[in-house]
Amino acid sequence: MVSRHFVSITALLACGLVPALALQTWSLGDSATWSLNNSAGSANISDVPVTLPSCALGSLLEDGRLAGDPLYRYNELDYRWVADDTWTWTASFPSPQPAENATHWLLTIGAVDGVGQVALNGKVLAFPRNSHRPVEADVSGLLAEDGNNTLTVTIESAAAVAAAAAAVYPYQVPAVRQVGGLPHYNFIRKAASDFGWDWGPAFAPACILGDVTLTAYSGPYLTGLALAQEEQSNGSFLITATAFFQAPPGEHGGLLILDMGNQTLSGAWSAEQEVLLSCGGAEESAAVGASASSGPACAAAAALPASCSAVISLTVDPPFQRWWPWELGSPTLYDLEVRFEPEGAGDALSSLTRAVGLRSVELVTEALVEGGRAVGETFFLRVNGVPMFARGANVIPDDVLESAVTPARLARQVADARAVGMNMLRVWGGGRYAGDAFYAAADEAGLLVWQEVMAACAAYPRDAPFLEEVALEVRHQFTRLSAHPSVVLWGGNNEVEASFGWSPVTRAAPQLFAVDFAALFVDVVRPVLQELDPGVVYVDTSPSNGLLSSNPYVKRWGDVSDPAYGDVHFYDYTSDAFDPATYPPAKFVSEFGFMSFPSFSVYQTVTELGDWDLSSAMTDFRLRHAGGVQELQRQMGRHFLHASGETPPVSAFDGPVGASDGPTVTIGGPDVIVAGPNTTNSSESPVALQYKAFTHLSQVQQALAYETAAGVWRRGRDDPATRTMGMLYWQLNDIWQGPSWSSINHGGQWKLLHHAARRFFAPVYLSAWRDGDTLRASLVNDLPLDVRGLLSVDAVLYAARSEADVVTLLPPTATHAAALTAAPAWSGGLASLADAVTRQAQPTQLTYTSDYVLRLRFCPTAVQAAVGLPNPFEVETAGDGAGGNDTQVAAASSAGLTGSSANESCMSSIAGLGAAPGSAACAAASSALVCGEALFHPTEFVDASLWGPPPVLSARALPGAQTGDSGALVLEISSDVVALWVAVEPPPGLAGNFNASGFMLLPWQPQVVVFTPDPVEEGATGAAPMTAEELASKVTLRSLQQSMQEYEAGNPSSSALGLLNGVSLRLSVLGLTIFILTML
């Protein structure tokens, strides 16, 4: 980790280094006494003690005024009154004692999450209306002389304010209305998802986020730093820093100094410049005295403190080390410090320090021509001159209460993404800008970030106050994030242009809403970004068709689902999700997905026994995607089940589902339909078992759908007709324990999809698919290295009991994957393969295509640096003996679906690898050069020989099973027969993850899994430590065979097929299925 040095102004003062100027800051979050009160509109809540950050709902729960987890069962409805009320935070504090020469005071609030007003000692200071930027007010002369001060922050109902703003706007501006959601989120600068989304609840919380501080000063001091970097033709980098100051009104001279270096790397660069700051005076806004709801939803703040800026540049000449995405090299960071020495102040200074990385980024949009005519345009990122295939996911808010999102949780998101081979995350525009810890973790991990401005799935107003507020927000957020090398692309919004086709209002007046769009995202957001960084990579919406021209700026309006241009969002819930033909030949897929249910061990913590029924009201209440259960069942009917037996939907809400601008849904009122729980006798009843089986099947189905898509798009990187260069799935994380598109449950437990992503997001990826009567395999290599290894193909019979029963179809064969390519590796006729299996299988074993799975494996054995490309793992170059031995089998050749390191020593397993054991390069190589496995099932699962007695799965603790300081526990998972998609889940309430789940388990080859508990954050309480033996007795194990059978056992419509009253035997040869039914 890079060492960073932050200069503390308070420390400088304590050391007597500021003889002429005063500069002191006090945290009112720490020193003031805070309480919370409401308007008594719903309940008489008064004098609730709170600590910052604070959300009204969270503080009521902490104080015991409300009982229970807000995500438990129907508490969203029970607690809705909190969002409908007006809340006031009151802070009492004595006047701080500043240095005698302090002349000015500044009040700063990290963020007011909602709409309201701020007052000090009865003087209204501001009407905050933007959750995405701080509130600042000049409070000079307003502190009480007697030393007793009262600060109040009042926040009104966000839903009420948004509705009032929409009502007075000159025309209707539609926004998507989610199931159970609140309308008009587009009229307020607050996370759209706070109003409910198709994967989460509607709490619309009122919060004070961050700290509240008072600063006393008498001269200019640094408050912000916007950085831009540009690679020069001679290989140097030009760093331009825009330094922002807080200062008394007037002109101030001084020396601005910019230093950059690294304690562990050679090289230090410095520049200094005399500057003259011209700082404007505080202004009084006309909004003073108005109520929060009486004016536009984005009226200006009441008191504007003086501020100013200065620019300084620094040329960084070689030698230096670039910041690279993790698979291309080391994400090297340097310390950059800006200091200001005011004129005549001696050694007095203020400073800001940032961790920066040197890198160039381009969005490459080159015309594709076929037969002399344009047929599309590329869309990909080139980082430091190297084309990047983006592999990753979209990030949503991690909690319904932002006050609960800790730096550790944000860093965990990045770590979980990096652990499965992702190289990019997209911060979605319908939520919040992430906290600093998220971007710092991405910098250090070498992950790219696509950062969107917070706007999503709606048209937006363009009155002057709204546009001004967005401009201030974007300026603040870009300044905050500009130093982070991981942030490589800024997006104007999510699906705003796409939403024009969703409402009859926008469809009727496309020109009007195109003007609105351009006013906000082209004429406001884009110029603010370009002012601070002329080279910023910006796309005005996602998805989009890109530009006809960048100068002048002309959009290519049209069907944003056109795969020929720009990026695409792809969702198809009716076609076969396992068919490669379902997925379009898009250039960059920034969203796609298929839903699944949350892991049962997670879901059961917020539900009751009677809720575990697909036809229960709770199932429908938790499902915010209309018709989601039926979509999942129809897809399961294609692949896993004899009869899907679609569950009739039970509406838990009154009003339209997914409607745009429908009537307000009264949640918690008399129109809500909330049925009582279905009564089941036990958690092992057929209904409850069917629910658990459905949950598992939904996750298997989701993982297979995503892997099918990944195969299509990753193979397409070198296809002239496709040129796909990115896929970011929807979505990484969850905001609650409900059905969604996520790969990680709320709370951090991985779903099967996230485990599968480790396979299909591996930089070197083996993809297998059916092409008519042929099985084809391709090797995709996203590394800048040539990789050689051994490719093998065999057939694993479901009836196999020992390794001798595995039929070898292709012995380990030398195969080559060139750097940054996707190319065919092998193919075989399915009929020929079936004949080969029949000839080699034991005479007593059936050898129809329903009886086995084909297993393809590729294990790297040698790497070689490619000419003109980076060398991330210190690989030997051509001529240095890097050829390797093609018969050398990688150490990880016995890895299962999760893979294992093919580079455990960084010396013996991979020829040509020069990285030293224990080095960062070795660690990166260990995660990139793994054995890959692809399983191909010649028949659908429902037609395969999987209907005998389900596998008997067991877990046992290995000797010495608790390892290291992390408290990791080691288990061995076994099965008596071949078991598919074995899920391994910790017991409810135990936070942490297994390193493997969703694998094929062979009876002769137990799978060793390691459970790593989550570290307990400071001040938090975690579950009691568990021994490996205890974990082995409580772990949940489930196979695909068990889930298929338990689902159909709970579905009476399947009985006609003999599943409940008979035995079904399937004999299938290349698609011809013969059913032999023995009815009892």
Lowest mean pLDDT among 4-13, 640-649, 934-943: 4-13
Residues 906 and 966 in one domain: no
Residue type, 910: I
User: At CA 413, angle to CA 409 and CA 418, rounded to 5?
Assistant: 145
pLDDT at residue number 567 = 98
**Sequence-separated (6 or more) residues with CB below 8 Å from residue 969:** 957, 961, 962, 963, 1010, 1011, 1013, 1026, 1027, 1028, 1031
Residue 445: inside a domain: yes
CA neighbours closer than 13 Å in the CB half-sphere of residue 303: 20
Q: Which of 4-18, 903-917, 968-982 has the weakest average pLDDT?
A: 4-18
Helix H or strand E encompassing 338: strand 334-342
Q: Over range 28-54, report the average pLDDT.
A: 89
Tell me how crowded residue 267 is: count the other CB atoms within 10 A of its CB.
14
Last residue of a domain, one of 943, 973, 990: 943
Beta bridge pairs of residue 152: 90, 119
Enumerate the β-bridge partners of residue 836. none
The tens digit of pLDDT for each residue in 260-318 reads 998 777 779 999 999 999 998 544 333 333 333 334 444 444 455 678 999 999 999 99
Q: Would you tell me how many other CB atoms lie within 10 Å of the CB of residue 904?
A: 16
**Residue 810 domain-assigned?**
yes
Structure tokens at 568: 């695409």
Residue 572 domain-assigned? Answer: no
1038 and 914 together in one domain: no
Local structure of residue 457 (DSSP, 8 states): S
Please check whether residue 733 lies inside any domain of the structure: no
Q: Which helix (H) or strand (E) holds 1044?
A: helix 1040-1049
- 306 within 8 A of 281, measured Cβ to Cβ: yes
Q: What is the pLDDT of residues 658-711, one digit of tens each?
A: 333 332 222 232 233 333 344 445 778 899 999 999 999 999 999 999 999 999
φ/ψ of residue 12, rounded to 5: -60, -40
Question: Does 924 lie in the same domain as 861?
Answer: yes
Q: Which two tokens stand for residue 431?
A: 């939520």
DSSP H helical ranges for 653-685:
none
**Residue 613 sits in the same domain as residue 549:** no
Q: How many structural domains does the chain have?
A: 5
How far, in Å, CA of 381 to CA of 384, rounded?
A: 10
870 cis-preceded (ω within 30 degrees of 0): no
Average pLDDT over residues 149-169: 97
Statement: residue 413 has pLDDT above 80 = yes
State the pLDDT at residue 493. 98
- Answer whether residue 258 is part of any domain: no
Residue 684: per-residue pLDDT:
86
Show which of 215, 232, 252 is a domain's final residue: 215
Residue 803 pLDDT: 95
One domain for residues 472 and 621: no
Q: Is the pLDDT of residue 11 over 50?
A: no
Would you say residue 327 lies in a domain?
no
Confirm whether 223 is domain-assigned: no
Beta strands at 992-994 and 1007-1013: parallel, antiparallel or unpaired:
antiparallel
Contact of 817 with 866, CB cutoff 8 Å:
no
Question: pLDDT of 880-900, one tens digit each?
Answer: 443 433 333 333 333 333 333
Mean pLDDT of 950-960: 91
Helical spans, DSSP H, in 153-274? 158-168
- Please give the DSSP secondary-structure letter assigned to residue 1040: H
The answer on pLDDT for 12 being more than 50 is no
Q: Residue range 406-427: average pLDDT?
A: 97
Q: Among 666, 689, 704, which residue terminates a domain?
A: 704
Closest CA to 25 of 123, 113, 118, 96: 96
**Torsion-angle region of 939 (φ positive above 0: left; ψ -120 to 50: alpha; else: beta):** beta
Q: Quick check: 500 pLDDT over 60? A: yes
* pLDDT on residue 10: 37
Specify the pLDDT at position 919: 85
**Using CA atoms, how far apart are residues 608 and 548, in angstroms rounded to an integer?**
55
From CA 698, how far away is CA 742, in angstroms rounded? 12
979 and 1042 together in one domain: yes
Give the separation between CA 212 and CA 27, rounded to whole angstroms. 6
SS3 1013: strand
Shared domain for 166 and 127, answered yes or no, is: yes
Cis, bond preceding 232 (omega within 30 deg of 0): no
Q: What is the CATH number of the domain that holds 160?
A: 2.60.120.260
Give the residue with greater pLDDT, 5 vs 156.
156
What ranges in 486-627 are assigned the alpha helix state H?
504-508, 510-517, 526-532, 600-603, 617-622
Task: Judge whether 903 and 929 are in contact, CB under 8 Å.
Answer: yes
**Res. 879: pLDDT tops 50:** no
Within 10 angstroms of residue 550's Cβ, the number of other Cβ atoms is: 9
Q: Please enumerate in sequence order all residues whose Cβ is within 8 A of that of 389, keeping only pairs 6 or more positions apart, or say none.
A: 380, 714, 717, 725, 726, 782, 820
Rounded CA-CA distance 917/764 in Å is 21
CATH code for the domain of 1010? 2.60.40.10
Q: Could you list the residue range(s) of the whole structural domain that residue 448 is in?
A: 361-560
> Residue 896: CB partners within 8 Å, gap ≥ 6?
933, 996, 999, 1000, 1007
Tokens of 46: 């008064």
Question: Does residue 526 sit in the same domain as residue 635?
Answer: no
Summarize pLDDT for 437-458 with one digit per residue, the tens: 999 999 999 999 999 999 999 9
Coil, helix or strand at residue 647 = coil
One domain for residues 937 and 1045: no
Same domain, 898 and 816: yes
Question: Could you report the per-residue pLDDT of 304-362, keeping only the tens digit for each?
Answer: 567 899 999 999 999 999 999 999 999 999 999 999 999 877 666 799 999 999 999 99
Least confident of 1-15, 472-486, 1010-1024: 1-15
Confidence band, pLDDT 50/70/90 cuts, at residue 960? low
Most confidently predicted of 64-68, 290-294, 1006-1010: 1006-1010
121-135 mean pLDDT: 97
Mean pLDDT over 902-911 rounds to 60
Whether residue 897 contacts residue 877, with contact meaning beta carbons closer than 8 Å, is answered with: no
pLDDT for the residue 94: 95
Residue 511 Ramachandran class (φ > 0 left, ψ -120 to 50 alpha, else beta): alpha
Within a domain: 201: yes
Same structural domain, 937 and 979 = no
Strand 487-491 with 448-452, pairing: parallel
Predicted local distance difference test score (pLDDT) of residue 1: 36
| 418 shares its domain with 406 | yes
Higher-pLDDT residue of 372, 3? 372
Query: What's the average model confidence in pLDDT over 195-222?
Result: 96
pLDDT at 282: 47
Lowest mean pLDDT among 15-24, 726-735, 744-753: 15-24
How long is the chain?
1080
Portion of the chain with pLDDT greater than 70, in percent: 84
Q: How confident is the model at residue 169 (pLDDT cuts 50, 70, 90)?
A: very high
